[in-house]
Structure 1
Amino acid sequence: MEEIFRDQWGRVLASLIGVLGDFDLAEDAAAEAFAVAAQRWPTDGVPDNPAAWLVTTARRKAIDRLRRDRVLADKLRLLEATERGADQGPASASASATSDLRDERLELIFLCCHPALAPEAQVALTLRAVAGLPTEQIARAFLVPAETMKRRLTRAKIKIKAAGIPFRVPPDRMLPERLGAVLAILYLIFNEGYGQPAATAKEPETDLAAVAIRLGRVLAALLPDEPEVLGLLALMLLHDSRRAARFRGDDLVLLPDQDRSLWNWEQLLAGSALAARTAGTKGPYALQASIAALQTDDWIDWPRIAALYRELAEVTGSPVVRLNGAVAVAEAEGPAAALAIVDALDLDGYQYWHSTRGELLRRMGRAAEARAAYRRALDLAASVPERRYLQRRIDETRS
């Protein structure tokens, strides 16, 4: 039942916001409809079309709410006109209630990731509205008090209403830019979870990596012909498929040392298949997916990976991409060639620049310099597994 509710929340909320244009009223009506479902479905059974049942029930709850508030009489007339086209009972699957759910859910994603909102608000709103996570769980995932997260969400909703941000998918000419923002938010959510071991079975919904993948699947179903959408989903699936082997307790395990029997091969194969569909396209997520797929092979083609990183660097202009590409160069051409690339980058405040330099210097036998680089990376590291890994490297270069 919980899985059904989690899957339907974004659909129902999207439909209600599209009619009401009011985030808070839509959330309240949806919550009431889900509460009714939680009471009735265990005895009556889950309806054939849960989304239609929930949307119809939520609309009626919204009508009841508006009847008690005559200030919103115009919205009441709009809702009642919509309701007249629906079937008589909430248990029957109303075609009118679900015909536009596909587009409305896509509109909800773009609304939550609108560039007028601050990035942290985009993340919070996406997790709350699209993924259906309670505010308290979002707060725990980002290690902030629940009241702080509640205020963040409230400010975002106020901004949407005050700025008149439209509830619609942007026109074709704006789609690449706006879609890029949506994908960036999903990948940010994924990385927040991927940096930690998988969530415990007790509370898997706080695993932001799993939430991001679920949202990525939704977006891929809504935009099946967008290579970058498929590329991002492939990238997340491939990375996450190795996460069980990426940590040993609180210790970080690098790719060459991972136990491949711990990899999620079903997920890995799904990600590889998606990466193959986007191979040859030049978008940043498709290129990264190709790189991630190559890294799962028994024999890794490092020259090919280095070439893909060069393409990715040209597309993004990112020094971080050049840094990651240097790791592939180290495998293909040796650490000296890679160090020349790394030392040309202006990334002194970036943890992974220092840790990469440390690895290259260690491989070149320059232990004292490697130790200094690892220490600087340790000063910048936040996560426990990464700090433990860097301390181990420091200790190893002393011997």
Structure 2
Amino acid sequence: MRATILGTGAIAALHADALAALSHHGIEARVTHAVDIDPGRAADFAARHGVPNHGTSLDEALADTDVLHICTPPGVHLPATLQALAAGVHVVVEKPAVLSLKEADAIAAAERSAAPARAGGGTARFTQIVQHRFGAGALRLRRLLDDGALGRPLVATCDTMWFRPPAYFDVPWRGRWDTEGGGPTMGHGIHQFDLLLAIFGEWTEVTAMAGRLAREVDTEDVSMAIVRFANGAMASVTNSLLSPRQASDLRFDTEKATIELSHVYGYSDENWTFTPLEGTDVAQLWTPEPDALPSGHEAQFVATYPALATGAPLPVTVSDTRGTLELAAAIYRSAFTGTPVRAGQIGPADPFYESMRGSGPEWRPVKDVPAHPEEAAR
């Protein structure tokens, strides 16, 4: 499988290293092209990672590519995705895949009409990076819930408490609705609440708040939500870029156990804690796998590349991507309208279908934010 990496910034290195590691798993894949609007950056990346071809033309690279890895800023994911699918090239895109539900539906339509795949069976296909789904602990917990061994899922907390200083937003595309799609809800917490959805299943209703409390950006810098799931479970979700002690914490309470994950940007089995309900016999069900891959791009590619090569079902589909994106849109809609949002409610006639900002507020300068948060928007 010949791969092209489009966009050679920091995240691209994770893709290149993970693809290089696939040989240890008996999977043949190699990066053949590095493409960037900055030719010097593309050349430096190619030299560091042993990529034989580099340049600024995606058209030229696609002519010799089986899989396109899109590592550009989110605002330009969509056109590259559509171009690759039309050329019969599979697409692996960084999160968030796109900036709106409208764009997600455009990808779904493009995948349905995609050209025959250059490699693998069927037509070209799309998948998104959600690497936290592929750690051993997450896979184990999902199996135990599917088997009913832990009883019903009941309560969860999902906290992405990260810190980004003002200088982080000096990069021109950060902190903007039109290029990043949103603040920590879209660009940071989405990893954690995607894992929450992978564990607890489909959501049905959300009530949320959002604020721009401390960073001079167009988007929010914190959001909080209460989510109800189709199975009756409930969860709280917090997404922050204002938290000096960084942590990514998830807690899952079931009828028979509490399962907790605490990490920052990635986890192994050591980051999980399993507490059985006293009087139950489920403690032995949680068996750590010290040799398993940690959550990360390598673990996701180990599951993804064989599916691309053989035409087997992908572990993360367009539908999975849309489900997580819809929760982000619902958080914004609820926060900006002050009303609960149900799954499926945001359709083409809704302003939040075309943009996560929707009909949301413009923020006052941070220095002018009054003591009462409800007065912060005008």
Normalising by the smaller structure, the TM-score range is: under 0.3
Using structure 2 for the length normalisation, give the TM-score.
Answer: 0.23
Greater fraction strand: 2
Greater fraction helix: 1
* Greater Cα radius of gyration, structure 1 or 2: 1
Instruction: Report which structure shows greater RCO (CA 8 Å, sep ≥6).
Output: 2
Using structure 1 for the length normalisation, give the TM-score.
Answer: 0.22
